Amino acid sequence: MSRRAGIGTLALLTLAVSGCAADPDAADEAPRRTHGRNGSGGFTVQYRTGGKDARATTYLRSRQVLEKAVDRLNDTVTVPRRIPLVVRSCGAAEPAYDPETGSIDFCVEHVGEVREHFEDTGKDVDGDERAARVTGVLTETAYHEGAHALIDTLGLHFTGREEDVADQFAAVMLVRQGRSGEDGALAAAADYALSAKENPADDTDLRDEHSLDGQRAANYACYVYGAHPARHRDLVRDGTLTEDRADGCPDEWKQAKKGWEMLLGSHLKKRL
């Protein structure tokens, strides 16, 4: 139940469904701060990081990346129990929802990998734009894992693959935030496209529960285009989407949005 099957750099690493393999030094620390609802339910953010994780922790905290994400989740859906989003060192694993603990491991290594991805490939844009792209990808990760948590906690029934359904939720949560959210979804698309270029798919990827990175990149771009075709014609002009795919994107967007509204049903506080 991770965001992806492998790290978005040159190495493909195997992920256990139970979540991140925690760093022993980080695991022994008590949460330094908890952000979220004061009541018994809802998403929260906890930091369980050591000194060696300072760069990633400072990046997240200074931009309130996860705090803003959980606030939007809590403003959108009612959850009967606490779902901690725990920032910690995970070693070789990726961010993942753990159904056994009912928590989300948000790995500091993932923060560094995403930053390196855009620093290496985004030299044509200024620092603020790179930071916005990184924030967009990290927010998408939080929503993707949040979707897994909601599916498990609320006992939601769906068709298709859970990873695809989680991507749809992340896209809906981002796009509903307006232009900044659309940019975040497009940053996630760019991140998957970069990963697809760096790591050509092999037979193992074809058997994975996730769609191929290139497919996920196109899907995120399609949802953004489908929500607002007039202001995203550049996605067709630059070849991110084919004309044929773009023609169907408004329907794909409506289906993703309506599908999650129906899934969440009475748990939804406001329409998506």
Confidence at residue 241, expressed as pLDDT on a 0 to 100 scale:
97
Tokens of 221: 């771009």
Alpha carbons 195 and 212: distance in angstroms, whole number: 10
Confidence at residue 12, expressed as pLDDT on a 0 to 100 scale:
27
Side by side, which strands form the sheet with 96-98? 34-36, 42-48, 82-88, 103-107, 96-98
Which amino acid, one-letter code, is at 83?
A: I
Question: Tell me: the pLDDT tens digits for 173-210?
Answer: 999 999 999 999 999 999 999 887 877 666 565 445 56
Exposed e or buried b for every residue in 11-32, given b needs 16+ CB within 10 A? Answer: ebeebeeebbbbbeebeeeebe
Looking at residue 53, what DSSP letter applies? G
Nearest Cα neighbor of 80 from 18, 149, 144 is 149
Looking at residue 141, what DSSP letter applies? H
Alpha carbons 64 and 85: distance in angstroms, whole number: 13
Q: How many other C-beta atoms lie within 10 A of the C-beta of residue 35?
A: 18
Question: Tell me: the pLDDT tens digits for 106-130?
Answer: 999 999 999 988 886 656 667 788 8
Strand partners, 87: 47, 106
Q: Between the CA of residue 207 and those of 1, 54, 161, what are the distances in Å?
A: 15, 37, 13
Tokens of 235: 């996605």
Confidence at residue 79, expressed as pLDDT on a 0 to 100 scale:
96
Whole-prediction pTM: 0.85
Confidence at residue 21, expressed as pLDDT on a 0 to 100 scale:
35
Tens-level pLDDT at each residue, the chain (272 residues): 666 654 333 232 222 223 333 333 333 344 445 676 556 799 999 999 988 899 999 999 999 999 999 999 999 999 999 999 999 999 877 899 999 999 999 999 999 999 988 886 656 667 788 899 999 999 999 999 999 999 999 999 998 899 999 999 999 999 999 999 999 999 999 999 988 787 766 656 544 556 689 999 999 999 999 999 999 999 999 999 999 999 999 999 999 999 999 999 999 999 99
> Exposed/middle/buried for 54, CB within 10 Å: 0-12, 13-18, 19+?
exposed
Q: What is the rounded average pLDDT for all residues in the chain? A: 85
Question: Tell me: the pLDDT tens digits for 140-156?
Answer: 999 999 999 999 999 99
Alpha carbons 97 and 171: distance in angstroms, whole number: 18
**What's the length of the chain?**
272
**Alpha helix positions (H), the chain:** 24-27, 54-63, 65-76, 108-121, 127-154, 162-175, 179-198, 203-206, 213-227, 234-237, 243-264
**Chain-centroid distance, C-alpha 49:** 20
Confidence at residue 234, expressed as pLDDT on a 0 to 100 scale:
97
Q: 202 CB contacts (<8 Å, ≥6 apart)?
A: none
DSSP H or E run through 85? strand 82-88
